[in-house]
Chain A
Amino acid sequence: MLNVLIFLVIMSTLLAGMAQLMVSDYSVGKVEANYSISLATAEAGVNYELRKISNDGTLGDQKQSAGTGGTTYTTAAGTCSVYVTQHNQDGTETTPWAPGKSLWIYSTGNYNGVSRTVKVAAAPYSTITPSNYAVFGVVSGTVIGSSAVVTGDMGTDGYFNFNGHPTVNGSVVFNGTTSNWLSPPSGTYSTVHNTSAVNWPSVETLAVAAFGSQGLNYVATNNDNALCGNDIKNNVVTTSGNNGMTFYGKPGGANYYLTSLSCGGNAPILFDNRTGPITIWVGPSGASSTFQLRGGTANVKMTTDPTKPVKVYIANINDVVITGSIELDAGIYNVNNAGKGNVVFSGSSQDIFGTIICNTFSFNGSPNIGSVQGYFSPLGTVSSYGCVPPWYEVGGVN
């Protein structure tokens, strides 16, 4: 009898333990569900904020000056507290967030006593109609003679002055209400008048976007000039005779910084971009140094591989001279805050496979410019904000 009772007590104890284990397991399952719902609620808060600032950027829920709390919203499942901070190009995080800039969105989801916080990077998206500009003069464009051939569009926010009848296998595009011909051209062109001017950022602005707040000053001391050995001395390139030089690309992109480039004689410039894109920055902003380029043949043309472009950004205010009977496989960008970036084509039989964006341009030869898309984009009107990497769970395991 006693043995049976002991057996029953042991069995009951074991079963009671198992039951307790089941209840614990059940409780854990419920808590896990709460965690899942909290995360979904936190992400709902992020999307709610994205929609809110996409409708009106000034309505962003800024981080409170005291504490980290944001604005609390009630969703169908739980509540979420959301705030935003500015995500600067140099990686710093500041407050308040300025509309139009990249941002961090913090959102804490709360459900049944469980809180989870996510930190998500977001960026503005612009609506820009892809352009087919072969050449764009922000202030003006002048074409002397009738030898120039442009395949693609010619655009300006100012005026065009055609002292001849160049061939334009595309449209002549005037942007802005005051943009037009300086005087009616002698030929007939397909013209387009857009009400809004195209907003091209300055070279310095692009450098800040690429390298952080120091912009060109940063790339002046952090560059890949060494890849060219002694061909670049003190940030200056000077060629003469038949002794040209080669710029080399590298995976991820090579950035060169020059203060002057002068190609004398028949010295060619080559771009060996087989391993990666090449970007040449010419500064400092507003300098009056020389930039005279005699061609530049790339190993890989943009039309063949758009991931390895050759781009030249020039912040000087002196003329940028493209000289010689050459081929140039590059995009030239010469827009500065002074409005004096002037690109001059002075050679004959020049074949340009790229895009020329500048403050003013002047054709005084017979360039043959073939538009290649994808080199440069203007600033657009921010139409919405969207998530970009990275995504963190604050205090969680990622």
Chain B
Amino acid sequence: MQTRFSRRRRPGFTFVEVMVSSAICVLCMSIMIQLWAFSTFFTVQTSDNAVACDLARQTIETLKETGFSQTPEAPSTAPLVHYYTLNTVNVDNTPSAARYKVTTTVVSDALVAGSNPATPAPNALRLVTTKVTLVSTGAVLSTLTTYFARNGI
């Protein structure tokens, strides 16, 4: 027997189904966002490391070009400091615009006695250390070290 108010099944989602699916969606979206953030972080990190490595290498090559005796002594108390943007443009005049800071020390194991400014002795071994840091955080991105000797490469 049919009554006037008999319930008729219609297609659709129950409230519980909607809630479960929403929860799954939120979970998946959360994972996706985290993956996106993770990818972005590593992309930036990779870019910074690559640029830092290039800047360190460039600094060493520039000092080689300057030459053994013409490269000034630069102890850790008075290092050579340069600033660069993300595109490796030198911005020593406006360090606030820099993304990278390149700090270079040049320390000789023998100096010409009484020289001022300090001049490396002809037989000196000069330890050159270049450190590239991120200006915003101070994190060290790259450290490159080599020796200079008279008539060396």
Contacts and interface: CB of A to CB of B under 8 A. Distances in A.
Interface of A: 1, 4-5, 8-9, 11-12, 15-16, 18-19, 21-23, 25-26, 28-30, 32-33, 36-37, 40-41, 43-48, 50-51, 54-55, 75-77, 120, 125, 384-387, 391
Q: Which 3 A-B pairs have the closest CB atoms?
A: A386-B151, A47-B152, A22-B42
Given A40-B146, A41-B145, A387-B151, A5 B24 contact: yes
A19 B21 contact: no
B97 interface: no
A36 B125 contact: no
Contacts of B151: 50, 54, 125, 384-387
17 contacts: A1-B13, A8-B25, A8-B28, A12-B32, A15-B35, A18-B39, A19-B35, A22-B42, A26-B49, A40-B57, A40-B145, A44-B146, A46-B153, A47-B146, A47-B149, A384-B122, A386-B150
Interface residues of B, number: 42
B144 A22 contact: no
Contact of A51 (B31, B52, B142, B150): B150
Contacts of B45: 26
B66 interface: no
Contact of B49 (A23, A30, A41): A30
A23 B36 contact: no
Contacts of B147: 43-45, 47-48, 51, 75
Of A21, A29, A386, the most chain B CB neighbours within 10 A belong to A29
A26 B56 CA distance: 18
Contact of A47 (B13, B31, B52, B148): B148
Contacts of B39: 15, 18-19, 21-22
Contact of A387 (B24, B127, B152): B152
Contacts of A51: 123-125, 147, 149-150, 152
Interface in B22-47: 24-25, 28-29, 31-32, 35-36, 38-39, 42-43, 45-46
B50 interface: yes
Interface of A is mostly: helix
B145 A77 contact: yes
A40 B143 CA distance: 11
A122 B13 CA distance: 83
A385 B122 CA distance: 11
A23 B42 CA distance: 6
Interface of B: 13, 17, 21, 24-25, 28-29, 31-32, 35-36, 38-39, 42-43, 45-46, 49-50, 52-53, 56-57, 60, 122-125, 127, 129, 142-153
B13 A32 contact: no
Contacts of B123: 51, 54-55, 384
B132 to A, nearest CB: 10
Given A25-B42, A47-B148, A15 B125 contact: no
B139 to A, nearest CB: 14
A80 B49 CA distance: 24
Given A11-B28, A387-B152, 16 more contacts: A8-B25, A18-B35, A25-B43, A26-B45, A26-B46, A32-B50, A36-B56, A36-B57, A40-B145, A44-B146, A45-B147, A47-B152, A48-B149, A51-B150, A384-B122, A384-B150
A5 B129 CA distance: 54
Given A15-B36, A47-B125, A51-B123, A1 B21 contact: yes
A76 B145 contact: yes
A22 B127 CA distance: 35
Contacts of B56: 36
Contact of A54 (B35, B60, B149): B149
B60 A47 contact: no
A19 B49 contact: no
Contact of A32 (B53, B129, B143): B53
Interface centre among A28, A36, A47 (most CB of B within 10 A): A47
B149 A19 contact: no
Contacts of B50: 29, 32
Contacts of A16: 35
A55 B129 CA distance: 23
A33 B125 contact: no
